[in-house]
Amino acid sequence: MRNLLYIITLTLVFASCSEYQDVLKNDDISAKFKLGAELFESGKFDKANRLFLQIVPRYRGKPQAEKLMYMHSKAYYETNDFYTANYKMEQFVESYPQSERVDEIAFLAAESYYFLSPIYSKDQTETIEALTKLQDFINRYPNSKYFDQANSLAQELDIKLEKKAYEIALQYNTTGPFHRDYNSAITAFNNFLDNYPGSIYREDALFYKFDSAYKLAVNSVEWKQQDRTEKALRFYKSLLRNFPDTKYLSQANLMHEKLKNIKNNIIQKS
């Protein structure tokens, strides 16, 4: 009995493969459409798309073109070919703006860009593009059932960009010992705080901005020390004003005392 079932299964598989090859090789576009749709519905997206690729140009302007382009573009998404998927899906949105599936495809197009976003330590050009696409979707389809999901993805990408910007600023402060650039660190932290005022890294950014100014002051030549010390003291006050119980309090207070001593010495010499 088991052998019989095995033989029947093999027979069905070979028959299916034979049918697919026959349809793939012949010129009957309706047969290709029908079989492609069946394969698409059964989750065999790669095989379906091989058929769709043969007939897409010949269905332009026909009533079935919308369904075909829907399946064709989504098949790329389902096979993780996100570069092609976002291109084909954006074509669908442009060609069929009144389609009942337009918000689904518009969301999947934006999500395809999301999947192309690299880890935060790499160049974030694709992350910025993905965030723009998701925001465009959010603005264009506020009533879509995919709205909340798009918002969640956009927030995730925004946090990634925040982390990247913070790490770049921190790198100016910590990379060394001979390549630290405290002036650039201060500028980078200022830009970060302006661009991400509600960031989860705000406390850290304020401290390391102060830390950069502190190190610049204590290591300065005498004629530059007064201005740099005053700047560092202002950054200390800013940290404490925003985070009175900062996790860096003990360290910051020690640095503050040293800056006050430098300031007092300058005053005594003047």
DSSP secondary structure string for all residues of 178-212: S---HHHHHHHHHHHHHH-TT-TTHHHHHHHHHHH
Residue 211 forms part of a structural domain: yes
At residue 8, the pLDDT reads: 43
Structurally, the chain folds into a number of domains equal to: 1
At residue 151, the pLDDT reads: 98
Residue 234 forms part of a structural domain: yes
Residue 113 forms part of a structural domain: no
For 111, the 3-state DSSP assignment is helix
**157, 130 in Cβ contact below 8 A?**
yes
Residue 221 forms part of a structural domain: yes
Instruction: Return the structure tokens found at 9.
Output: 């299964």
Instruction: Name the one residue in this structure whose structure tokens are 């302007």.
Output: 61
Provide the b/e sequence for 13-31 (b: ≥16 CB within 10 Å).
eeeeeeebeebeeeeebeb
Residue 232 forms part of a structural domain: yes
**255, 233 in Cβ contact below 8 A?**
no
The Cα–Cα gap between 65 and 62 comes to: 5
At residue 40, the pLDDT reads: 97
Instruction: Return the structure tokens found at 257.
Output: 């005392």
Residue 251 forms part of a structural domain: yes
Tell me which residue range forms the domain holding 263.
Answer: 181-270
At residue 268, the pLDDT reads: 81
Instruction: Return the structure tokens found at 126.
Output: 């694709």
Query: Cis link prior to 177 (omega < 30° from 0)?
Result: yes
Residue among 126, 137, 191, 125 at smallest CA distance from 199: 191
At residue 211, the pLDDT reads: 97
At residue 5, the pLDDT reads: 47
Residues of the chain with pLDDT under 70: 1-17, 176-179, 270
**Sequence-distant (≥ 6) Cβ neighbours of residue 249 within 8 angstroms:** none
**189, 212 in Cβ contact below 8 A?**
yes
- Ramachandran area for residue 43 (φ above 0: left; ψ -120 to 50: alpha; else beta): left
Residue 208 forms part of a structural domain: yes
Residue 270 forms part of a structural domain: yes
Question: Which amino acid belongs to residue 251?
Answer: Q
At residue 9, the pLDDT reads: 45
From residue 65, alpha-carbon distances to 36, 40, 43, 143 in Å are 13, 15, 20, 26
The Cα–Cα gap between 150 and 157 comes to: 11
What pLDDT, in 10s, does the model give residues 101-111?
999 999 999 99
From residue 168, alpha-carbon distances to 39, 68, 128, 158, 161 in Å are 48, 46, 16, 15, 11
The C-alpha R_g of the chain, in whole angstroms, comes to 30
